Structure 1
Amino acid sequence: MPDMISNTSCMIILDNINRLDILQKLYQTIHLTEEVAQEFGKPLANWMTVNVVEDKNYLRLLNASVDLGEASTIALAVQMPGDHVMILDDLKARKLAKQLDLKYTGLLGILLKAKQQNVIASVSDILAQFRQVNFRFSEKLEAEVLKLAGEL
């Protein structure tokens, strides 16, 4: 299983609906950067590992294109050896990751995997909770995710 590197938005949204456990149940350990941990702003669970981005110049270069949390997540992915996947929802960050040939998924992809592995019973129920905490996604994307989850 690849190492998972999370950006801040995924953590905040799951925390807002009291479902950070989804990440732990799916991946056991989540890697964060110091910048992401600071943006998250809450005490971290013991299954969250904070990593230091070593190349601060590269981090600044990336930060010129995307927010600091996304920049540090991408910089860590470049720095880390082995197989890893980033959790990114920001479109600019995803485009940058694609240009760098890095693997990523988003929060909705995580929900699909959680349903497939019986971590959650319903993607639809979690999406409804996401809407309550102002996580925005199109109706088209919602229909696509629900179809893939077998709920439409």
Structure 2
Amino acid sequence: MIVVSDASILINLARIGELDLLQKLYGQITIPDAVWQEVVVDGGDQPGAEDIRTAIWIRRMAITNRHLVQALRQDLDPGESEAIALALEIGADLLLMDERLGRESARYFDLRYIGLVGALVEAKHRGIITKIRPYLDALRDRAGFRLSTALYERVLRDQGEG
């Protein structure tokens, strides 16, 4: 499975010490240069940046379609723009992205995408984790992950944890 990721999912899982959950779910993750820049270079002093830099299962790749990236930059940040362009270039099976505008753009290009909460649900369904609540709580409390109370409660209820 070819999976491309934007920065936010990597950052948030790294902040709670659960970055390897993505490897367990998807094997290898591919990120564009702009995501590497945001997470490892610009965010090098942030928690989890070193884990992301040294993860051998995270592959960095340059974008060739700069025109598409430039067009996407009208509404999206560099990482989101390059993640969408890279997913299209390499025929990704899945795009990991949380940002609403990025997901709307991905939908426009018929890309299959999932956010962090969806990845946690998938991990539970595949038996990689047994409960979602500890991850959601850690993301909210330690990583500053924004998650509405309504979504938090709905996910827990839907997963039999509510």
TM-score by length of 2: 0.88
Structure 2 residue aligned with 1:14: 13
- Letter in structure 2 aligned against 1:113: E
Aligned length: 150
Q: Is the 8 A contact 1:85 1:103 kept in 2?
A: yes
- Map of 1:43-62 to 2, 5 A cutoff? 43-62=53-72
Q: What is the CA distance between 1:140 and its match in structure 2?
A: 1.4
Q: 2:87: which partner in 1? A: 77
> What value does the CA root-mean-square deviation take over the aligned residues?
1.1
Shift of 1:139: 1.2
Q: Which residue of 1 aligns with 2:133?
A: 124
Query: Can you give the 5+ residue segments of structure 1 that lack an aligned partner in the other structure?
Result: none
Match of 1:95 in 2: 104
Q: Which amino acid aligns with 1:75?
A: A
Runs of 4+ in 1 over 4 A off after TM superposition: none
Cα shift at 1:44:
3.5
Report the residue type matching 1:66 in the other structure.
L
2-structure distance, mates of 1:149, 1:38 = 36
Give the match for residue 43 of structure 2. none
Aligned equivalent of 2:117, options 97, 108, 113: 108
Call closer, same or farther: CA 1:44–1:61 in 2, change over 3 Å.
farther
Q: 1:110 aligns to what SS in structure 2?
A: helix
Identity of aligned residues (%): 33
Distance (Å, rounded) in 2 between the aligned partners of 1:47 and 1:138:
31
Task: Look up the match of 2:24.
Answer: 25
Letter of the 1:46 counterpart: I
1:137 is displaced (CA, Å) by 1.1
Amino acid at match of 1:34: D
What 5-or-longer segments of structure 2 have no aligned partner? 41-48
Rounded to whole Å, the distance in 2 between the matches of 1:103 and 1:23 is 16
Shift of 1:114: 0.9
**Contact 1:112–1:148 at 8 Å: present in 2 too?**
no
Instruction: Name the SS of the counterpart of 2:3 in structure 1.
Output: strand
Q: Secondary structure at the match of 1:32?
A: strand
